[in-house]
Amino acid sequence: MTKTISIIILLIIMTSCSGKSFDSNKWKNWDGKESFIRWDMADDLINNQELRGKTQREIETLLGKPNNGQNSSADLFYYDLGPCRSGIDYGSLYIKFKDEKVVQVEKHCN
């Protein structure tokens, strides 16, 4: 019973420590050592940075080069968010463009 309570408290602490303000320099210079930094900044980025309507060039200035790999196309930028705050999954930020302007931004935990 005590072990279960300890695990629940630990999970609550781990999931509640998010919500960092977006910082372009920290985002672009992320090396993966601060595991949750991008994941934690992503909500502020999505909700407060008015990404819709920005050009691909403006997004690259703000976030750096995308991590585009297999999931990429000319109209989709992908950014690695590092580990999610739940489970062992890793997060991704997808930015979709139409006519070279942002039309959709999504944060995923895969």
pLDDT digits (tens, 9 = 90+) for 72-85: 677 999 999 998 88
| pLDDT attached to residue 88 | 82
Q: What is the model's pLDDT at position 10?
A: 41
Closest of 59, 39, 40 to residue 49, by C-alpha: 59
Instruction: Output the pLDDT for position 14.
Output: 44
Rounded Cα–Cα distance for residues 32 and 63 (Å): 15
Give the model's confidence band at 87: pLDDT under 50 very low, under 70 low, under 90 confident, else very high. Answer: confident
User: Which pLDDT score is estimated for 110?
Assistant: 81
Nearest to 93 by CA among 30, 35, 43: 43
- Cα 78 to chain centroid distance, Å, stands at 9
In terms of DSSP H, where are the helices of the chain?
Answer: 2-16, 24-28, 37-48, 56-63
- 6 or 42: whose pLDDT is higher? 42
Tell the residue number behind the tokens 């320099």, with chain if given.
Answer: 25
